[in-house]
Amino acid sequence: MDQHLISTVNRLQDAFATLGPTTNPIDLPQITVVGSQSSGKSSVLENIVGRDFLPRGTGIVTRRPLVLQLINRPKGKANGTTSESSEGEEWGEFLHLPGQKIYDFGKIREEIVRETESKTGKNAGISANPINLRIFSPNVLTLTLVDLPGLTKVPVGDQPKDIERQIREMVLKYITKPNAIILAVTAANTDLANSDGLKLAREVDPEGTRTIGVLTKVDLMDQGTDVVDILAGRVIPLRLGYVPVINRGQRDIEQGKAISSALEHERDFFENHPSYRAKAQYCGTPFLARKLNMILMHHIKATLPDIKQRIQSTLSKYQAELGQLGDNTLGTPSNVILNVITDFCNEYRTILDGNSQELSSLELSGGARISFVFHELYSNGVKSVDPFDQVKDVDIRTILYNSSGSSPALFVGTTAFEVIVKQQIKRFEDPSLKCVTLVYDELVRILSQVVQQKSIFKRYPVLKERLLSVVIQFFKQSLIPTNKLVQDLVSMESAYINTGHPDFLSGHRAMAIVGERMQASKPVQVDPKTGKPLPTAQKDPMSPVTIGGVAGGVAGGDENGGFFNSFFATKNKKKMAMMEAPPAVLKASGVLSERETAETEVIKLLISSYFNIVKRTMIDMVPKAIMLNLVSFSKDEMQRELLEKLYKSDVLEDLLKESDFTVSRRKEVQKMVDSLQTASEIVAGVN
């Protein structure tokens, strides 16, 4: 049963092999071999297998990850028949050569070289695409190892200049996975602290809980030195410990020394060495293979429940995505277009009305943003318009004189008031049109939101672009009557100044307020002897006229100053007698008289009163106009517009042309679903 667990993981690896190393969705338990080029990784693997089958040479020999699946096959079961020949008992199978059994391990080496060069070329480049090799033998324990390119620091020959970075990134991709057991191979005759394999392993496994150390070249250490302290965990402790082994030297390999002889030499070395003979049973390649077999089986047992759960959850996720990508067809083109238009318009109305099932608690969206435009941005924008930041007191006084014509006015007429109010009402047009633009932008935002949410638009990009174009053009056409209505509202307000409005401040009330203010601002004279206020003549600055008349000030020439007095103030009597022509530009200047000040304040009070009425009207009416001609109109008429423009027999096929992304993504997801379904079937029978 335990051996069956490793076989199960091997089958899972095969199921995911076609997906490539970067897209494998499940982190499978496996032993990953890391070490520097000169650490003896290849020799360790060959000793475990008991056969020469790995490429050899200088520089980087392993240039692609090799997923090595060792499968113990009892003697006499090769090809289903009894066989005494070792040639028939051991063979290799490559995943990329299904059904081919290779009994000659020299040809296995050649196929590894050929397959490596097919991806990387004959230079010293590397590839992350793995080679999957199964070896069936009665002389191996069931085991799965991943041999990675040896770590190097300096590019040699025609190796890429960044070869160190490339290999490091590839190794990290494999050993970073939590379910990877790291087999860090280090030469015993070098300083353990400088071990490239251990250094990289500690980056991803700082506690050493899933790293096992292999010490090679123990027989090449200086006389009198050993690795006992390392084995005891007193140097760099590892939870899974260290195993010392002895590999064949280069001369042994060149002379064709058999691995069986090398293993015999290894056993004799540890059994007779004074430092190791007490623990000889824990040294050597056979013990390493058994230890790895046990570690892998226990690791698979511990992780299998999680693997099952992850396979199911990942399968559900990709099946859902495949469902969104859809089959090759969703029905007839006309039905697809009709359903898309209907769903789109329903979703658009839902978001506008705030009835969406996915209401956000983080930010305003949809119709709520339009409400914000109306009641915050536009309302505050209108309220901030101040008529007197453009119209000053002297301007009011000049308009009063101009509105009197050639005869000085007896009263403060309504003409000047209306002229100023109409000029200022026109200022509401810009913020009102700006409000229309802001609402248009919000409708476009909602449009983009709906399109992003609907996965079908990713599948049909032509339909997406055409629908966006039609809807935006529809919005722009709706802007024309909306802007016209808003402009008409402003024109209506300026066309008729309704001084009979119930909220408008009356002229008599305005005069009374100004009179009280001016009287209160006058200084009180005090009798110096008694300290009591002196009686003053109660002269109303507005008294000569009925409603703020200017007869005394304008017709009679106020002795206290005023418009005309300021003009003649600098002229002597002689020049005045000459009656020189007035200047080309005649402006009001000088300090206003008390009467002129009072009249100006009355006009300002009336302007403020009426202007506030207009503000309230605009804040109320402009949003209604925009809702009528733009927002509600789009809700009611958009579906008709889309059907008219898109539901045409001559364009249906073009609209439903799938994107290249959708076609390729569907193939990828389908392949992923097939692999996960296979994996689900594999683990279903394992308890």
Closest CA to 325 of 453, 457, 452, 450: 457
* Contact between residue 569 and residue 600 where contact means Cβ atoms under 8 Å apart: no
Total number of residues shown for the chain: 687
Express each pLDDT in 357-403 by its tens digit. Answer: 666 666 676 788 899 999 999 999 999 888 787 767 666 666 666 66
* Contact between residue 488 and residue 496 where contact means Cβ atoms under 8 Å apart: no
pLDDT at 493 over 50: yes
Express each pLDDT in 41-79 by its tens digit. Answer: 888 888 888 888 888 766 567 788 999 988 888 776 545
- pLDDT computed for residue 546 by the predictor: 37
pLDDT at 548 over 50: no
pLDDT at 459 over 60: yes
Three-state DSSP at 181 gives strand
Express each pLDDT in 309-328 by its tens digit. Answer: 988 998 898 888 887 777 65
- pLDDT computed for residue 549 by the predictor: 36
Q: How far is CA 650 from CA 456, 586, 610, in A?
A: 21, 73, 59
Say which range, 137-151, 202-216, 345-359, has the weakest mean pLDDT: 345-359
pLDDT at 507 over 70: no
Three-state DSSP at 264 gives helix
- pLDDT computed for residue 432 by the predictor: 95
Say which range, 342-356, 400-414, 464-478, has the weakest mean pLDDT: 400-414
Give mean pLDDT, residues 234-241: 90
Say which range, 81-95, 202-216, 474-488, has the weakest mean pLDDT: 81-95
CA atoms within 13 A on the CB side of 608: 9
Say which range, 110-119, 444-453, 583-592, has the weakest mean pLDDT: 583-592
- pLDDT computed for residue 471 by the predictor: 93
Express each pLDDT in 1-17 by its tens digit. Answer: 456 777 888 888 777 77
| 23: Cβ contacts below 8 Å, ≥ 6 apart | 668, 672
- pLDDT computed for residue 392 by the predictor: 72
The fraction of the chain above a pLDDT of 70, given in percent, is: 77
pLDDT at 557 over 60: no
- Sheet with 143-147, side-by-side order of all strands: 91-94, 131-137, 66-72, 143-147, 30-35, 180-187, 211-216, 242-244
Say which range, 258-267, 318-327, 460-469, has the weakest mean pLDDT: 318-327
Express each pLDDT in 176-196 by its tens digit. Answer: 988 899 999 999 888 888 888
Six-digit token pair at 267?
A: 């056993």
Three-state DSSP at 56 gives coil
- pLDDT computed for residue 246 by the predictor: 92
Give mean pLDDT, residues 74-95: 65
| 592: Cβ contacts below 8 Å, ≥ 6 apart | 393, 394, 397, 561, 562, 563, 600
- pLDDT computed for residue 538 by the predictor: 47
- pLDDT computed for residue 305 by the predictor: 86
Band (pLDDT 50/70/90 cuts) for residue 661 is confident
pLDDT at 120 over 60: yes
Band (pLDDT 50/70/90 cuts) for residue 687 is low
Three-state DSSP at 86 gives helix
- pLDDT computed for residue 550 by the predictor: 33
- pLDDT computed for residue 361 by the predictor: 62
- pLDDT computed for residue 419 by the predictor: 80
Give first-to-last CA distance, the chain, whole Å. 10
In terms of DSSP H, where are the helices of 501-580? 507-521, 563-568, 573-578
pLDDT at 522 over 70: no
Give mean pLDDT, residues 86-91: 73
The fraction of the chain above a pLDDT of 90, given in percent, is: 24
Average model confidence (pLDDT) for the chain? Answer: 80
Q: Environment class of residue 474 by beta-carbon count within 10 Å: exposed (0-12), middle (13-18) or buried (19+)?
A: buried
- pLDDT computed for residue 483 by the predictor: 96
Q: What is the CA radius of gyration of the chain?
A: 47
Phi, psi (degrees; rounded to nearest 5) at 33: -95, 120
* Residue with more model confidence, 566 or 272: 272
